[in-house]
Amino acid sequence: QKEVEQNSGPLSVPEGAIASLNCTYSDRGSQSFFWYRQYSGKSPELIMFIYSNGDKEDGRFTAQLNKASQYVSLLIRDSQPSDSATYLCAVNYGGATNKLIFGTGTLLAVQP
């Protein structure tokens, strides 16, 4: 089992719809979780982080964490063509360590 897993996509949604991106992780000791966005040819940039079970909202973005199910998701409301990018889930693996592990990323395409 991979440490952090994501569906590689592409995930295609129409403009204005909700995009739902999912991520599972294998280590129950993981404590912090991050969503990064990466445009083609650019470096990853942080969208959101989440540490506690439940939902965390920031503008059009909502991160959801369920530690019992080892599952973290990102919802993007009112998707825009400018949201088209690869979304990377990252997990601070193994609790209090520096091991920041990334999933394979999900390519999101928002159709105008």
User: Is the Cβ of residue 49 or residue 71 nearer to other proteins in the bound state?
Assistant: 49
Per DSSP, helices labelled H in 24-75 are none
- Give residues with Cβ within 8 angstroms of 18, minimum separation 6: 75, 76, 77, 78, 79
25 binds other proteins (CB under 8 A): no
1 binds other proteins (CB under 8 A): no
Distance of CA 16 to the CA centre of its chain: 19
Report 34-93 residues binding other proteins (CB under 8 A): 34, 38, 42-46, 49, 51, 86, 88, 90, 92
Closest C-alpha to 3, from 50, 70, 48:
70
- Interaction site with other proteins (CB under 8 A): 8, 31-32, 34, 38, 42-46, 49, 51, 86, 88, 90, 92, 96-102, 104-105, 107
